[in-house]
Amino acid sequence: MAINLELPKKFNAHIDQARQAGLQVFRPISRKYDSAEHEYPVELDTLAALYDGLAEAGQAGAGAAGGRGDEGKKRPEGYNANGGNMQSIINSMEASYGDVGLMLSIPYQGLGNAAIAAVATDEQLEAFGKVWAAMAITEPSFGSDSAAVTATATLDGDEYVLNGEKIFVTAGSRATHIVVWASVDKSLGRAAIKSFVVPREHPGVTIARLEEKLGIRASDTAVIVFDNCRIPKANLLGSPEVDVKKGFGGVMQTFDNTRPMVAAMAVGVARASLEELRAVLEKAGLTIDYDRPASDQPAAVAEFIRLESDWEAAYLMTLRAAWMADNKMPNSLEASMSKAKAGRTGTDVTNKAVELAGTVGYSERSLLEKWARDSKILDIFEGTQQIQQLIIARRVLGKSSSELK
Protein backbone atom coordinates (compact mmCIF):
# COMPACT_ATOMS: atom_id res chain seq x y z
CA MET A 1 0.00 0.00 0.00
CA ALA A 2 1.39 3.40 -0.99
CA ILE A 3 1.29 6.22 1.57
CA ASN A 4 1.60 9.82 0.43
CA LEU A 5 3.21 11.90 3.16
CA GLU A 6 3.07 15.18 1.25
CA LEU A 7 0.69 17.85 2.44
CA PRO A 8 -2.21 18.62 0.07
CA LYS A 9 -1.45 21.46 -2.34
CA LYS A 10 -4.69 23.19 -1.36
CA PHE A 11 -3.08 24.04 1.99
CA ASN A 12 -0.07 25.80 0.48
CA ALA A 13 -1.63 29.25 0.78
CA HIS A 14 -2.63 28.62 4.41
CA ILE A 15 0.84 27.34 5.26
CA ASP A 16 2.44 30.41 3.71
CA GLN A 17 0.00 32.72 5.49
CA ALA A 18 0.63 31.18 8.92
CA ARG A 19 4.38 31.01 8.37
CA GLN A 20 4.53 34.67 7.41
CA ALA A 21 2.52 35.56 10.51
CA GLY A 22 4.97 33.56 12.62
CA LEU A 23 8.09 35.06 11.08
CA GLN A 24 7.01 38.61 10.21
CA VAL A 25 4.61 39.38 13.08
CA PHE A 26 5.44 37.06 16.00
CA ARG A 27 9.22 36.71 15.91
CA PRO A 28 10.02 40.46 15.96
CA ILE A 29 7.89 41.02 19.11
CA SER A 30 8.55 37.64 20.72
CA ARG A 31 11.14 38.82 23.24
CA LYS A 32 9.19 42.03 23.95
CA TYR A 33 6.09 40.25 25.25
CA ASP A 34 8.08 37.52 26.96
CA SER A 35 9.60 40.28 29.09
CA ALA A 36 6.34 42.22 29.48
CA GLU A 37 4.07 39.47 30.79
CA HIS A 38 0.36 40.45 31.04
CA GLU A 39 0.81 43.32 28.56
CA TYR A 40 -1.64 42.79 25.72
CA PRO A 41 0.06 42.29 22.31
CA VAL A 42 -1.77 45.02 20.39
CA GLU A 43 -0.03 43.96 17.18
CA LEU A 44 -2.30 40.91 17.12
CA ASP A 45 -5.44 42.99 16.58
CA THR A 46 -4.49 43.63 12.97
CA LEU A 47 -3.76 39.94 12.50
CA ALA A 48 -7.13 39.02 14.01
CA ALA A 49 -8.90 41.37 11.61
CA LEU A 50 -7.10 39.70 8.71
CA TYR A 51 -8.12 36.23 9.89
CA ASP A 52 -11.69 37.39 10.38
CA GLY A 53 -11.76 38.46 6.76
CA LEU A 54 -10.31 35.14 5.66
CA ALA A 55 -12.90 33.29 7.73
CA GLU A 56 -15.66 35.24 6.00
CA ALA A 57 -14.15 34.02 2.73
CA GLY A 58 -14.23 30.42 3.95
CA GLN A 59 -10.58 30.15 5.01
CA ALA A 60 -9.14 29.42 8.46
CA GLY A 61 -6.74 31.57 10.45
CA ALA A 62 -3.51 30.56 12.13
CA GLY A 63 -4.72 29.80 15.63
CA ALA A 64 -6.32 26.98 17.57
CA ALA A 65 -9.92 27.50 16.57
CA GLY A 66 -10.34 24.18 14.82
CA GLY A 67 -13.01 23.55 12.24
CA ARG A 68 -15.52 21.13 10.85
CA GLY A 69 -14.36 21.51 7.28
CA ASP A 70 -16.51 19.57 4.83
CA GLU A 71 -17.92 17.11 7.34
CA GLY A 72 -21.49 17.81 6.35
CA LYS A 73 -20.94 16.63 2.81
CA LYS A 74 -21.74 13.13 1.66
CA ARG A 75 -18.55 11.29 0.77
CA PRO A 76 -18.12 8.48 -1.74
CA GLU A 77 -16.52 5.24 -0.63
CA GLY A 78 -12.75 5.55 -0.42
CA TYR A 79 -12.89 9.34 -0.17
CA ASN A 80 -9.83 10.88 1.53
CA ALA A 81 -10.61 14.09 3.40
CA ASN A 82 -8.13 16.75 4.41
CA GLY A 83 -10.38 19.31 6.00
CA GLY A 84 -10.75 21.69 8.92
CA ASN A 85 -8.82 19.64 11.47
CA MET A 86 -5.80 19.17 9.23
CA GLN A 87 -5.85 22.82 8.24
CA SER A 88 -5.96 23.99 11.87
CA ILE A 89 -3.14 21.63 12.84
CA ILE A 90 -0.92 22.96 10.06
CA ASN A 91 -1.78 26.57 10.90
CA SER A 92 -0.93 26.00 14.57
CA MET A 93 2.40 24.39 13.70
CA GLU A 94 3.43 27.30 11.51
CA ALA A 95 2.25 30.02 13.88
CA SER A 96 3.95 28.30 16.85
CA TYR A 97 7.12 28.13 14.77
CA GLY A 98 7.02 31.92 15.18
CA ASP A 99 5.95 32.12 18.83
CA VAL A 100 3.58 29.81 20.67
CA GLY A 101 2.68 32.32 23.40
CA LEU A 102 1.57 34.85 20.81
CA MET A 103 -0.22 32.17 18.81
CA LEU A 104 -2.27 31.38 21.94
CA SER A 105 -3.08 35.08 22.22
CA ILE A 106 -4.59 35.59 18.75
CA PRO A 107 -8.10 36.98 19.26
CA TYR A 108 -10.92 34.57 18.31
CA GLN A 109 -8.50 31.64 17.92
CA GLY A 110 -8.62 30.14 21.45
CA LEU A 111 -8.62 26.56 22.69
CA GLY A 112 -12.24 27.05 23.68
CA ASN A 113 -13.03 27.61 20.01
CA ALA A 114 -11.69 24.12 19.27
CA ALA A 115 -13.97 22.78 22.01
CA ILE A 116 -16.98 24.52 20.47
CA ALA A 117 -16.11 23.12 17.05
CA ALA A 118 -15.87 19.62 18.56
CA VAL A 119 -19.21 19.29 20.37
CA ALA A 120 -21.52 22.22 19.56
CA THR A 121 -24.80 21.70 17.75
CA ASP A 122 -25.43 23.53 14.47
CA GLU A 123 -27.52 26.11 16.32
CA GLN A 124 -24.73 26.67 18.84
CA LEU A 125 -22.16 27.02 16.07
CA GLU A 126 -24.35 29.77 14.66
CA ALA A 127 -24.50 31.46 18.07
CA PHE A 128 -20.92 30.93 19.26
CA GLY A 129 -18.99 30.40 16.04
CA LYS A 130 -17.52 33.91 16.07
CA VAL A 131 -16.69 34.39 19.76
CA TRP A 132 -13.18 34.29 21.28
CA ALA A 133 -13.34 31.36 23.69
CA ALA A 134 -10.90 30.30 26.38
CA MET A 135 -11.24 26.86 28.00
CA ALA A 136 -11.60 26.37 31.76
CA ILE A 137 -11.16 22.82 33.04
CA THR A 138 -8.45 22.66 35.73
CA GLU A 139 -9.31 23.41 39.36
CA PRO A 140 -7.25 23.90 42.54
CA SER A 141 -8.06 20.32 43.61
CA PHE A 142 -6.96 18.57 40.40
CA GLY A 143 -4.86 18.92 37.28
CA SER A 144 -5.09 16.34 34.50
CA ASP A 145 -7.81 14.17 36.06
CA SER A 146 -10.67 15.91 34.26
CA ALA A 147 -13.23 13.57 35.82
CA ALA A 148 -12.51 15.20 39.21
CA VAL A 149 -14.38 18.40 38.27
CA THR A 150 -16.07 19.94 41.34
CA ALA A 151 -17.58 23.03 39.69
CA THR A 152 -21.35 22.70 39.51
CA ALA A 153 -24.07 23.80 37.10
CA THR A 154 -27.52 23.64 38.68
CA LEU A 155 -30.58 23.92 36.46
CA ASP A 156 -32.98 26.62 37.68
CA GLY A 157 -35.86 27.15 35.29
CA ASP A 158 -34.44 28.18 31.93
CA GLU A 159 -30.98 28.88 33.32
CA TYR A 160 -27.98 27.05 34.72
CA VAL A 161 -26.33 28.46 37.83
CA LEU A 162 -22.55 27.92 37.80
CA ASN A 163 -20.37 27.82 40.91
CA GLY A 164 -16.69 26.95 41.21
CA GLU A 165 -13.11 28.07 40.68
CA LYS A 166 -10.99 27.41 37.58
CA ILE A 167 -7.22 27.86 37.35
CA PHE A 168 -4.67 28.02 34.51
CA VAL A 169 -7.21 29.35 32.02
CA THR A 170 -5.26 30.30 28.88
CA ALA A 171 -6.42 33.69 27.52
CA GLY A 172 -8.87 33.78 30.43
CA SER A 173 -8.71 37.55 30.96
CA ARG A 174 -8.72 38.43 27.25
CA ALA A 175 -11.21 36.06 25.60
CA THR A 176 -14.79 37.24 25.21
CA HIS A 177 -16.18 33.86 26.34
CA ILE A 178 -15.07 30.91 28.45
CA VAL A 179 -15.91 27.24 27.88
CA VAL A 180 -16.39 25.92 31.43
CA TRP A 181 -16.53 22.29 32.53
CA ALA A 182 -19.00 21.68 35.37
CA SER A 183 -21.16 18.88 36.75
CA VAL A 184 -24.93 19.04 36.36
CA ASP A 185 -25.42 16.28 38.98
CA LYS A 186 -22.60 15.26 41.33
CA SER A 187 -24.43 12.03 42.25
CA LEU A 188 -24.09 10.73 38.68
CA GLY A 189 -20.30 10.99 38.57
CA ARG A 190 -18.26 11.84 35.51
CA ALA A 191 -21.17 11.24 33.11
CA ALA A 192 -22.76 14.45 34.43
CA ILE A 193 -19.83 16.69 33.45
CA LYS A 194 -20.82 19.09 30.69
CA SER A 195 -19.25 22.12 29.04
CA PHE A 196 -20.86 25.56 29.06
CA VAL A 197 -20.19 28.75 27.12
CA VAL A 198 -20.03 31.70 29.52
CA PRO A 199 -19.41 35.35 28.57
CA ARG A 200 -16.35 36.65 30.43
CA GLU A 201 -17.96 39.99 31.26
CA HIS A 202 -21.01 38.52 32.97
CA PRO A 203 -22.52 38.74 36.46
CA GLY A 204 -20.94 36.13 38.72
CA VAL A 205 -17.68 35.86 36.71
CA THR A 206 -14.55 37.23 38.40
CA ILE A 207 -10.95 37.19 37.14
CA ALA A 208 -9.27 36.55 40.50
CA ARG A 209 -5.64 36.84 39.36
CA LEU A 210 -3.17 36.33 36.53
CA GLU A 211 -0.32 33.84 36.90
CA GLU A 212 3.40 34.61 36.60
CA LYS A 213 4.81 31.79 34.46
CA LEU A 214 7.95 30.02 33.26
CA GLY A 215 6.99 30.16 29.57
CA ILE A 216 4.34 31.30 27.06
CA ARG A 217 4.49 34.58 28.97
CA ALA A 218 2.90 36.52 26.11
CA SER A 219 -0.28 34.55 26.81
CA ASP A 220 -2.27 35.47 29.91
CA THR A 221 -3.18 32.63 32.27
CA ALA A 222 -6.04 33.39 34.64
CA VAL A 223 -7.76 32.16 37.78
CA ILE A 224 -11.52 32.59 37.32
CA VAL A 225 -14.21 32.32 39.99
CA PHE A 226 -17.86 31.58 39.14
CA ASP A 227 -20.22 32.66 41.91
CA ASN A 228 -23.93 32.03 41.21
CA CYS A 229 -23.30 32.79 37.54
CA ARG A 230 -26.55 32.38 35.63
CA ILE A 231 -26.49 31.47 31.93
CA PRO A 232 -29.22 30.30 29.51
CA LYS A 233 -29.86 26.58 29.08
CA ALA A 234 -28.84 26.92 25.43
CA ASN A 235 -25.26 27.65 26.53
CA LEU A 236 -24.70 23.99 27.46
CA LEU A 237 -22.67 22.60 24.58
CA GLY A 238 -24.04 19.49 22.90
CA SER A 239 -26.75 17.37 24.49
CA PRO A 240 -28.00 18.16 28.04
CA GLU A 241 -28.89 14.49 28.58
CA VAL A 242 -26.78 12.58 31.12
CA ASP A 243 -26.00 9.17 29.67
CA VAL A 244 -24.49 7.08 32.47
CA LYS A 245 -23.73 4.22 30.06
CA LYS A 246 -21.86 6.48 27.68
CA GLY A 247 -20.19 8.11 30.65
CA PHE A 248 -17.63 10.84 30.17
CA GLY A 249 -17.22 10.28 26.43
CA GLY A 250 -19.30 13.19 25.15
CA VAL A 251 -17.42 16.07 26.75
CA MET A 252 -14.08 14.26 26.32
CA GLN A 253 -14.50 14.51 22.54
CA THR A 254 -13.17 18.01 23.03
CA PHE A 255 -9.72 16.55 23.68
CA ASP A 256 -9.78 14.63 20.41
CA ASN A 257 -9.61 18.07 18.77
CA THR A 258 -7.42 19.98 21.21
CA ARG A 259 -4.72 17.39 22.01
CA PRO A 260 -3.49 17.18 18.40
CA MET A 261 -3.63 20.99 18.39
CA VAL A 262 -1.25 21.15 21.38
CA ALA A 263 0.92 18.49 19.75
CA ALA A 264 1.11 20.74 16.69
CA MET A 265 2.26 23.63 18.88
CA ALA A 266 5.06 21.45 20.30
CA VAL A 267 6.06 20.38 16.79
CA GLY A 268 6.24 24.02 15.69
CA VAL A 269 8.40 25.16 18.62
CA ALA A 270 10.69 22.13 18.25
CA ARG A 271 11.18 22.84 14.55
CA ALA A 272 12.19 26.42 15.33
CA SER A 273 14.78 25.14 17.82
CA LEU A 274 16.14 22.56 15.39
CA GLU A 275 16.61 25.14 12.66
CA GLU A 276 18.37 27.53 15.04
CA LEU A 277 20.56 24.73 16.38
CA ARG A 278 21.50 23.67 12.86
CA ALA A 279 22.67 27.23 12.15
CA VAL A 280 24.72 27.30 15.36
CA LEU A 281 26.38 23.95 14.58
CA GLU A 282 27.17 24.91 11.00
CA LYS A 283 28.63 28.22 12.16
CA ALA A 284 30.90 26.19 14.45
CA GLY A 285 32.08 24.19 11.43
CA LEU A 286 30.00 21.06 12.05
CA THR A 287 28.31 19.69 8.93
CA ILE A 288 25.27 17.39 9.23
CA ASP A 289 25.84 14.57 6.76
CA TYR A 290 22.82 12.33 6.22
CA ASP A 291 24.83 9.95 4.02
CA ARG A 292 27.06 8.87 6.90
CA PRO A 293 26.07 6.89 10.02
CA ALA A 294 25.39 9.15 12.98
CA SER A 295 27.94 7.17 15.01
CA ASP A 296 30.63 8.17 12.50
CA GLN A 297 30.05 11.91 13.01
CA PRO A 298 30.79 14.39 15.83
CA ALA A 299 28.72 13.84 18.98
CA ALA A 300 26.78 17.09 18.55
CA VAL A 301 25.84 16.15 14.98
CA ALA A 302 24.81 12.63 16.04
CA GLU A 303 22.58 14.13 18.73
CA PHE A 304 21.04 16.55 16.22
CA ILE A 305 20.17 13.67 13.89
CA ARG A 306 18.52 11.81 16.80
CA LEU A 307 16.49 14.87 17.75
CA GLU A 308 15.43 15.45 14.15
CA SER A 309 14.24 11.86 13.72
CA ASP A 310 12.20 12.11 16.93
CA TRP A 311 10.70 15.36 15.65
CA GLU A 312 9.75 13.70 12.35
CA ALA A 313 7.87 10.97 14.24
CA ALA A 314 5.99 13.54 16.35
CA TYR A 315 5.09 15.54 13.23
CA LEU A 316 3.69 12.51 11.38
CA MET A 317 1.71 11.28 14.41
CA THR A 318 0.14 14.71 14.79
CA LEU A 319 -0.90 14.82 11.13
CA ARG A 320 -2.33 11.32 11.48
CA ALA A 321 -4.57 12.30 14.43
CA ALA A 322 -5.92 15.28 12.48
CA TRP A 323 -6.41 13.24 9.30
CA MET A 324 -8.41 10.64 11.22
CA ALA A 325 -10.67 13.34 12.65
CA ASP A 326 -11.30 14.73 9.18
CA ASN A 327 -12.17 11.24 7.93
CA LYS A 328 -14.62 10.46 10.74
CA MET A 329 -12.38 7.84 12.34
CA PRO A 330 -12.31 7.56 16.16
CA ASN A 331 -8.99 9.20 17.03
CA SER A 332 -8.92 9.32 20.82
CA LEU A 333 -5.96 6.91 20.96
CA GLU A 334 -4.07 8.72 18.21
CA ALA A 335 -4.84 12.13 19.74
CA SER A 336 -3.24 11.04 23.01
CA MET A 337 -0.34 9.36 21.21
CA SER A 338 0.42 12.53 19.23
CA LYS A 339 0.19 14.68 22.36
CA ALA A 340 2.43 12.34 24.36
CA LYS A 341 5.05 12.02 21.63
CA ALA A 342 5.10 15.68 20.59
CA GLY A 343 5.03 16.99 24.15
CA ARG A 344 7.97 14.85 25.19
CA THR A 345 9.88 15.48 21.96
CA GLY A 346 9.32 19.23 22.22
CA THR A 347 10.89 19.49 25.66
CA ASP A 348 13.73 17.14 24.67
CA VAL A 349 14.55 19.03 21.47
CA THR A 350 14.39 22.52 22.96
CA ASN A 351 16.40 21.65 26.08
CA LYS A 352 19.05 19.76 24.10
CA ALA A 353 19.28 22.71 21.71
CA VAL A 354 20.10 24.99 24.66
CA GLU A 355 22.72 22.50 25.84
CA LEU A 356 24.37 21.95 22.45
CA ALA A 357 24.41 25.65 21.59
CA GLY A 358 26.37 26.43 24.75
CA THR A 359 26.51 30.09 25.80
CA VAL A 360 24.44 31.13 22.77
CA GLY A 361 21.67 28.76 23.84
CA TYR A 362 21.61 29.75 27.51
CA SER A 363 21.74 33.51 26.94
CA GLU A 364 19.22 35.87 25.37
CA ARG A 365 21.44 36.21 22.30
CA SER A 366 19.04 33.79 20.62
CA LEU A 367 15.49 32.58 21.29
CA LEU A 368 16.63 29.05 22.17
CA GLU A 369 16.31 29.55 25.94
CA LYS A 370 12.85 31.06 25.47
CA TRP A 371 11.68 28.14 23.34
CA ALA A 372 12.92 25.74 26.02
CA ARG A 373 10.79 27.56 28.59
CA ASP A 374 7.78 27.77 26.27
CA SER A 375 7.86 24.07 25.36
CA LYS A 376 7.40 22.78 28.91
CA ILE A 377 3.73 23.71 29.15
CA LEU A 378 3.03 21.86 25.89
CA ASP A 379 3.91 18.60 27.67
CA ILE A 380 1.56 19.50 30.53
CA PHE A 381 -1.68 21.19 29.52
CA GLU A 382 -4.49 19.28 27.81
CA GLY A 383 -3.28 16.27 29.85
CA THR A 384 0.20 15.54 31.18
CA GLN A 385 2.61 12.98 29.74
CA GLN A 386 1.55 10.51 32.44
CA ILE A 387 -2.16 10.97 31.74
CA GLN A 388 -1.63 10.44 28.00
CA GLN A 389 0.28 7.22 28.60
CA LEU A 390 -2.48 6.03 30.91
CA ILE A 391 -5.12 6.74 28.26
CA ILE A 392 -3.03 5.01 25.60
CA ALA A 393 -2.58 1.95 27.83
CA ARG A 394 -6.33 1.74 28.46
CA ARG A 395 -7.08 1.93 24.74
CA VAL A 396 -4.45 -0.61 23.74
CA LEU A 397 -5.33 -3.08 26.50
CA GLY A 398 -9.09 -2.55 26.28
CA LYS A 399 -9.36 -1.50 29.93
CA SER A 400 -11.78 0.98 31.45
CA SER A 401 -10.71 3.84 33.70
CA SER A 402 -11.86 1.88 36.75
CA GLU A 403 -9.86 -1.17 35.68
CA LEU A 404 -6.62 0.69 34.97
CA LYS A 405 -5.87 3.69 37.16
Q: What is the pLDDT of residue 130?
A: 87
Quickly list DSSP for 187-223.
GGGGGGEEEEEEESSSTTEEEEEE---SS-TTS-EEE
Dihedral of the CA atoms 284, 290, 293, 299 (nearest 10)?
20
The pTM for the full model equals 0.92
- Residues 211, 192 share a domain: yes
- Residues 154, 104 share a domain: no
Q: Is 382 a catalytic residue?
A: yes
Q: What percent of the chain has pLDDT over 90?
A: 71
Q: What is the pLDDT of residue 310?
A: 98
| Domain span at 215 | 133-235
Above 70 in pLDDT, residue 60?
A: no
- Residues 123, 157 share a domain: no
Q: What is the pLDDT of residues 243-278, one digit of tens each?
A: 776 655 556 777 888 899 999 999 999 999 999 999
- Residues 393, 253 share a domain: yes
Q: What is the pLDDT of residue 386?
A: 94
Q: What is the mean pLDDT of residues 164-188?
A: 96
Q: What is the pLDDT of residue 250?
A: 57
> Higher pLDDT residue, 395 or 257?
395
User: What backbone torsions phi and psi does residue 175 show, to the nearest 5 degrees?
Assistant: -60, 150
- Residues 176, 51 share a domain: no
Mean pLDDT of the chain: 90
Q: Is residue 244 part of a domain?
A: no
Band of residue 1 on the pLDDT scale cut at 50, 70, 90: very low
- Residues 341, 253 share a domain: yes
Q: What is the pLDDT of residues 62-94, one digit of tens each?
A: 555 555 544 455 667 777 888 888 998 999 999
SS3 readout for 101-139: HHHCCCCCCCHHHHHHHHHCCHHHHHHHCCCCEEEECCE
The single residue of 139, 212, 382, 403 carrying the catalytic annotation is 382
- Residues 298, 215 share a domain: no
Q: What is the pLDDT of residue 129?
A: 86
- Residues 393, 256 share a domain: yes
Above 60 in pLDDT, residue 357?
A: yes
User: CATH no. for residue 84?
Assistant: 1.10.540.10
Residues 6+ away with beta carbon under 8 Å from 182:
149, 151, 152, 153, 162, 164, 193, 194, 195, 196, 226
Above 90 in pLDDT, residue 400?
A: no
What's the domain count of the chain?
3
Band of residue 283 on the pLDDT scale cut at 50, 70, 90: very high
Above 50 in pLDDT, residue 381?
A: yes
Of 171, 203, 235, the last residue of a domain is: 235
Among 178-192, 197-211, 278-292, 335-349, the minimum mean pLDDT is found in 178-192
Among 66-80, 87-101, 137-151, 375-389, the minimum mean pLDDT is found in 66-80
Of 79, 110, 128, the last residue of a domain is: 128
Q: What is the pLDDT of residues 114-128, one digit of tens each?
A: 889 888 899 999 999
- Residues 253, 393 share a domain: yes
Q: What is the pLDDT of residue 55?
A: 61
Q: How many CA atoms lie within 13 A of 35 on its CB side?
A: 6
- Residues 265, 379 share a domain: yes
Q: What percent of the chain has pLDDT over 70?
A: 91
Q: Is residue 166 part of a domain?
A: yes
Of 128, 160, 190, the last residue of a domain is: 128
- Residues 309, 216 share a domain: no
